[in-house]
Amino acid sequence: MTNDHVPRTAWYILAKSRELKHAPIARTLFGTPLVLFRDENGRAGALVDRCPHRNAPLSQGCVERGAVECPYHGWRFDTQGRCVEVPGLHPSRALPKFRVGSHAVIERGGWIWVFGTPGTEPDTEPFEFPFVDDPRYTRVPETIEAEGTVRDVAENALDVPHTAFLHRGLFRTAKVRNDIEVVVRRGKDRVEAEYIGEPRPSGIIGRLLAPQGGEVIHFDRFIAPAIAQVEYRLGDDAHLVATTVLTPLAATKTLIAAEVAFRLPVKVPTSVFVPILKPIALQILGQDLRMLKTIREHAEAFGGLRYASTELDVLGPHIDALLSGNDVDSASLGEVARIRMHV
Ligand code: FES
Ligand SMILES: [Fe+2]
């Protein structure tokens, strides 16, 4: 399974707003090269990155008067993909009606969202990251590329049993095991797993947030088409939601656009927490990304990835169903499974 199974009629993140300045930037979406640039009013556009004249990559040109200029003969295109100048063409001649495929773009909350299909006016809006307008929450955005499909990155982000092994010592340990009950609920566009009976994670972040221990409220969610979300509540006022939008850059390449939103107990200042949280989060993510790359490369010798699953692989089958458009009817979440884990 590759990212060809991920729906194209959806919004995906291709860059942070601040990455797109005056020069055009190159990205891919479903393996197709795109060029992002800003018009004279600063509005972002996304075009298929191929000049119709002789196929040069527009992203290697520059932006002139709000239109991207091809590096070869200088044809310029606006954010709608219309050719607005052919240098050297006599003023008495009409401009040719050449067009480049153009994707709808919405810039919101510091992210550049691009619709998956060119030439369409979407009737949906991009996903809203939680707590964007809530001053009690601090939000930390980050992007990183993964060698793996949306499906594999999402399953990894929402998979609990690997944490005691791959991330040994960082947030769970394989030595101390607990009986945990997992309630799985499915809705039309999402699946969530609620972990009941989980003690506070024993790593440094858990100790900082809830020094006295206690139970944890923990949800893992997959929201169609490609959003993974982990939510933790510890003690009375520590609340952390890590939301990742997964963009299918190419068949087996995925962009992780993450926003961690958190609220802390009054006694833990953000200025102390972020410098501790970020390196640990990046270390955990690095371990995950290396493993995803390793298993993909390793499986090549065996003809590709193949899975043997147990009930501990709680969300994988639901992610597959949601990615292949298998809706359940009800709009509200309904319980579909209760699983007992000893992890
Ligand atoms: S190839 Fe783009 S202007 Fe000629
Ligand atoms: Fe992990």
Task: Looking at the CA of 172, name the nearest ligand.
Answer: 2
User: If you take atom 1 of ligand 1, which residue's CA is the nearest one?
Assistant: 54
Cross-strand partners of 142? 258
The tokens for 307 are: 């899975």
Closest alpha carbon to 118 in 136, 131, 137, 105: 105
pTM for the model: 0.94
Rounded Cα distance between 185 and 192, Å, is: 5
* C-beta of residue 114 within 8 angstroms of C-beta of residue 11: yes
342 close to 179: Cβ distance less than 8 angstroms = yes
The residue whose C-alpha atom lies closest to atom 4 belonging to ligand 1 is 73
CA dist 160 to 31, 166, 193, 275, Å?
Answer: 31, 11, 10, 25
Domains and CATH numbers, the chain: 3-115 (2.102.10.10), 138-342 (3.90.380.10)
H or E segment to which residue 155 belongs: helix 150-157
Q: Is 77 touching ligand 1 by the criterion CB < 6 Å? A: no
Residue 20 near residue 39, CB atoms below 8 Å: no
In contact, 206 and 235? CB cutoff 8 Å: no
pLDDT by 10s per residue, the chain, length 343: 899 989 999 999 999 999 999 999 999 999 999 999 999 999 999 999 999 999 999 999 999 999 999 999 999 999 999 999 999 999 999 999 999 999 999 999 999 999 999 999 999 999 999 999 999 999 999 999 999 999 999 999 999 999 889 998 776 665 677 889 999 999 999 999 999 988 887 777 777 777 777 778 999 999 999 999 999 998 777 899 999 999 999 999 999 999 999 998 877 788 888 888 889 889 999 999 999 999 999 999 999 999 999 999 999 999 999 998 876 667 788 999 999 998 7
User: Ligand 1 pocket: which of 35, 49, 72 to mutate (most atoms <8 Å of CB)?
Assistant: 72
For atom 3 of ligand 1, which residue has the closest CA?
A: 73
Distance of alpha carbon 84 from alpha carbon 67, whole angstroms: 8
The amino acid sitting at 305 is L
From ligand 2's centre to the CA of 33, what distance in Å?
Answer: 30
| 191 alpha carbon – ligand 2 mean position (Å) | 19
Probe ligand 1: pick from 50, 70, 86, max atoms within 8 Å of CB? 70
Question: What does the DSSP assignment read for 1-50?
Answer: --GGGS-SSSEEEEEEGGG-SSS-EEEEETTEEEEEEE-TTS-EEEEES-
Q: Is the CB of 278 under 6 A from ligand 1?
A: no
Residue of 35, 48, 49, 75 with the most ligand 1 atoms within 8 Å of its CB, for mutation:
75
End-to-end Cα, the chain, rounded Å: 29
Please write down the HEC assignment for all residues of 260-317.
Answer: EEEECCCCCCHHHHHHHHHHHHHHHHHHHHHHHHHHHHHHHCCCCCCCCCCCCCCCHH
Q: What are phi and psi of 114, to 5 degrees?
A: -125, 135
